[in-house]
Amino acid sequence: MARNRVGVIGGGQLARMMIPPAVELGIDLRVLEEAEGMSADLAATGVGDYRDLDTVLAFAETVDVVTFDHEHVPPAILRELVGRGIPVHPGPDALLYAQDKLQMRAKLSELGLPVPDWAAVESADELGVFLADHGGRAVVKTARGGYDGKGVRVVTEASGADDWFLALAEDGHGGALLVEELVDFRRELAQLVARRPSGEVAAWPVVETVQRDGVCAEVIAPAPGAAGRVAQASADIARRVAEGLGVTGVLAVELFETTDDRVLINELAMRPHNSGHWSIEGAVTGQFEQHLRAVLDLPLGSTAPREDWSVMVNILGGPAEGTLQDRYPAALAAHPEAKFHGYGKAPRPGRKVGHVTVGGDDLDDVVYRARAAAAFFEG
């Protein structure tokens, strides 16, 4: 009998968005959520702490393959699952690179992939040296735990990361910070691919992402003007990352397109990613369906776009009062063409609570309509 039970660790909106394709394909999706009532609650079969071995083991024994809503499960737990013969995708060896940016940069450099200049720095003095070599400006990142702009800081002085060095020292482990050149980029791109354990890789078109305050605000698919060399370079990079790091499932590679026409890797995520939400309606196979296929080692679906342009706009924070649903009568009436997604999360400033996707053949019009539709849910 075919393996058909997919266990997702983490009950956030990424797990939630796996539910529709699981229902459609007849896949038995089961979620271990951190607390009751989370975004993916409908598919939850367990509630507990993903840092607790017994909790994760008990859950994993009820499924055929384990995958993730996030990248924070401790490697020791993942290795224990693998040791017991439970398939884990992406596996602990790959996730290591998503969990530790220093390991990731070292591996990408070793593979000869294009990354910004970087160094591991353990002191203000070492940071000062890097700054002196890079025009007095750099980006400092904590190796672990950052997301959505957290754990990332632009520095112009050697003392600019002293608090983080202190925190590392107090943590008892010591360790280094990642410092990178401040890339002079034209725009940010994201390249998503999916890879099966047996090797098949499928790439969606590269997209342009627009960040606000370090958080993804909008995505344009495909990235305008990127049809030729940039698209090919992006797809090649993501494929090499997926293969070089042994990633299984969906991999998101966030990229800089530099003012001197290079494409450099910024960040990686080894899971479905905000920059791929457009694909739910905008591609023949959306990222959540593809992730399920990939982790079950099923043949991947077509990643061809279904529209000339798809634009996704996040709903950040949501209504100041009430729920997303309170805004539906006005929003749906004004935008019968838009696809609305609510994550079942209470509105809170800055929180990703939903998104809107619009497709069409006139980019300016599609951008305008997607923003206008999303704006119904703010303020």
Closer to a second copy by CB, 227 or 284: give it.
284
170 is in an annotated binding site: no
Burial 257-274 (b: 16+ CB within 10 A, else e): bbeeeebbbbbbbbbbbb
Closer to a second copy by CB, 166 or 304: give it.
304
Which distant-in-sequence residues (6+ apart) come within 8 Å of 65 by Cβ?
A: 3, 5, 6, 7, 86, 87, 88, 89, 295, 296
CB of 41 to a second copy, least distance (A): 10
CB of 103 to a second copy, least distance (A): 34
CB of 4 to a second copy, least distance (A): 5
Q: For binding to a second copy (CB under 8 A), which residues are involved? A: 1-2, 4, 16-17, 19-21, 23-27, 42-43, 280, 284-285, 293, 298-302, 304, 306, 322-326, 328-329, 332-333, 336-337, 339-344, 354
CB of 135 to a second copy, least distance (A): 46
Angle, to 10 degrees, between the axis of helix 92-99 and the axis of helix 101-110?
A: 110
339 is in an annotated binding site: no
**What's the CA gap between 81 and 91, in Å, rounded?**
10
CB of 179 to a second copy, least distance (A): 41
140 is in an annotated binding site: no
CB of 327 to a second copy, least distance (A): 8
Largest CA distance in the chain: 62
Which CA distances in Å does 374 have to 277, 311, 359, 377, 378?
A: 14, 11, 14, 6, 7
Closer to a second copy by CB, 42 or 111: give it.
42
378 is in an annotated binding site: no
Closer to a second copy by CB, 64 or 188: give it.
64
CB of 326 to a second copy, least distance (A): 5
Please give the structure tokens belonging to residue 368. 């305008």
183 is in an annotated binding site: yes
Contact 51, 40 (CB under 8 A): no
141 is in an annotated binding site: yes
Rounded to 5, what percent of the chain is helix, strand, coil?
Answer: 35, 25, 40
Burial 223-238 (b: 16+ CB within 10 A, else e): beebeeebbebbbebb
Q: Whose CA is closest to 281, among 333, 358, 335?
A: 358
101 is in an annotated binding site: yes
**What's the CA gap between 191 and 178, in Å, rounded?**
23
Q: Whose CA is closest to 3, among 29, 21, 24, 23?
A: 29
Closer to a second copy by CB, 2 or 364: give it.
2
Closer to a second copy by CB, 102 or 283: give it.
283
Closer to a second copy by CB, 148 or 200: give it.
200
254 is in an annotated binding site: no
Binding positions are 101, 141, 180-183, 188, 266-267
Binding positions for ATP are 101, 141, 180-183, 188, 266-267
